[in-house]
Amino acid sequence: MPTAAAVLFPWSDTYSVKIAMVDSQHKVLVDLISELHQAMMARRGNESLGRVLATLVKYTKSHVAAEEGLLQANQYPDLVIHKAEHEQFTQTIVDFQGRFQRNEVAVTIDVMYFLKDWLVKHLTGSTSATFRTFPPRECVSTLRENACALSF
């Protein structure tokens, strides 16, 4: 867990979509970005940065699948648009990871701000709007066994 001094952006209730499962996953993404920032600021080696980046990529893919499953099960009408945002972000960080592994790029403050800014925009923009269309309950009953029980 990142230290307070190294937190690029702390979790805020303004990012909440009021669905505990989704919020907890978003919090993990925020923490992973902060952990990557902390590793960069501490000038840890590429091996350490690579491990954190790999965890971020893996978790992002898992979260996206869970969130899109929740949206699909609820027949969210703009799922295609939301999925496209996820795909663009996921592909961007996967491409960055590949370039990092080939020593073509380094983890820089610009990368950190890209990750932070994209996630904040996504959480307060399209994701917030998306989940406002859901019923005000934890998860719909058909998903309780699947999406709501997911743990990463």
Give the tens place of pLDDT for each residue, 54-96: 999 999 999 999 989 888 887 888 889 989 999 999 999 999 9
Please classify residue 71 by burial: count the beta carbons closer than 10 Å to its beta carbon, then call 0-12 exposed, 13-18 middle and 19+ buried: buried
Over 50: is that where the pLDDT of 136 sits?
A: no
Calpha distance 6→39 (Å, rounded): 9
Over 80: is that where the pLDDT of 35 sits?
A: yes
Strand, coil or helix: 2: coil
> Is-above-0.85 flag for pTM?
no
Pick the CATH number of 18-143 from 3.30.930.10, 3.20.20.140, 3.90.420.10, 1.20.120.50: 1.20.120.50
pLDDT digits (tens, 9 = 90+) for 4-24: 455 778 899 998 888 888 899
Domain residue limits, the chain: 18-143
